Structure 1
Amino acid sequence: MADDGSKQSAALWPLPKFHFQVKWDAQVMSFQEISGLDIQSEEIKYRSGDSPLFSVIKMPGMTKFGNVTMKKGIFKGDNKFWDWINQIKMNTVKRLPVTISLLDEEGKPTMVWTLANAWPTKVSGTDLKAEGNEVAIETIEIAHEGLTVANG
């Protein structure tokens, strides 16, 4: 018998990615798109000279975190991205915690990514088109010093 959807379990359906929330320090901000939530362990290649194998071994090395890109609509009087990047002065910038939460159907966080000591590396304004019919979108790319993930 086919499932009518009345008794859906958390293990049956994966979470949709369109319902999320971003906390920028203590402030909640709305974004259209977020990408770059990744962690990579660099590999270290090693081979001793007297190894009978003519190949290297690979060991885990330092962890590397990619920059996170966030896109949002431009609103009149909203200069948060530009104000933040303009604070950068000779190796000094205000670093903020950024929390990205994937929300369930009740609006409760299910999977949470937390960026430690985030700061802007790039801010991009919108492209402009005389014949366009799209929303004006601005983009911020932020670097951070660590990514923690909590699921459940």
Structure 2
Amino acid sequence: MATPRPNPYSNFNFIVEIDNEEVVGFSEVSGLDSETVPIEYREGSDPTSAMRQLGGTEKYSPVIFKRGITGSLYLWEWRKEARDGGTTFPPTKTVVIKLLNEKHDRNAPAMTWTLTNAWPTKITGPTLSAKGNEFAVEQVDIVHDRLDIS
């Protein structure tokens, strides 16, 4: 349940659960948006010729998850199931992103985003460089049928 307050929450204090389990940690999540694509409509007998905007299809961007590589193959196995057409296609799961408060209370998040029927469409491996000292980071793009915020 969203918790209103006068000051904004920090964006670094979050967890991601896939099918009610925190299986991997992420350093960044982006693309949590929802859009209704308008349909332009005008009646042929309308003397004003004004176009009306009617609600059309609901559209969601892929949600981008980034994480440092830790050796866990959980996301790759899920992506491989989607690629190879495992037992169901697509192999959907429920993904929940919880923004935590300063007390890090996982049971009472400040805000929650729920992705319904989510599945990974793309995994991007890290950029490897012998000259750098950054962490090896992979990216997973996940599409979904619905986004709910609470």
Q: Is TM > 0.5 for Structure 1 vs Structure 2?
A: yes
- What is the one-letter code of the residue matched to 2:124? S
Identify the residue that residue 92 of structure 2 maps to in structure 1.
Answer: 95
What corresponds to 1:56 in structure 2? 51
Q: Distance in 2 between matches of 1:94 and 1:114?
A: 17
**Residue number in structure 1 paired with 2:74:** 80
TM-score by length of 2: 0.86
1:107 and 2:100 are equivalent in the alignment: no
Equivalence for 2:37: 42
Q: Distance in 1 between matches of 2:21 and 2:110?
A: 19
Q: In proportion to residue count, which structure has more strand?
A: 1
Alignment correspondent of 1:143:
143
| SS of residue paired to 1:118 | strand
Aligned length: 140
Q: CA deviation at 1:130?
A: 1.9
How far apart are the structure 1 equivalents of 2:101 and 2:120? 29
The answer to whether 1:12 aligns with 2:9 is no
CA distance in 1 between partners of 2:99 and 2:142 (Å): 19
Q: Report runs of 4+ in structure 1 exceeding 4 Å deviation.
A: none
| Alignment partner of 1:32 is 2:27 | yes
Larger Rg: 1
- The one-letter amino acid of 1:116's match is T
TM-score by length of 1: 0.85
Q: Deviations over 1:80-136 (max 9, x none)?
A: 221111112347232111110000011121100011111110001001112112100
3-state DSSP of counterpart to 1:53:
coil
Give CA deviations for 1:8-61 in whole Å, capped at 9, x if unaligned: xx6321111110011111321310000011110010101122322233111111
CA RMSD between the two structures: 1.5
Instruction: Give the aligned residue type for 1:125.
Output: G
Name the counterpart of 1:130.
130
- Shifted more, 27-36 versus 86-95: the winner is 86-95
Matches of 2:111 and 2:20, distance apart in 1: 18
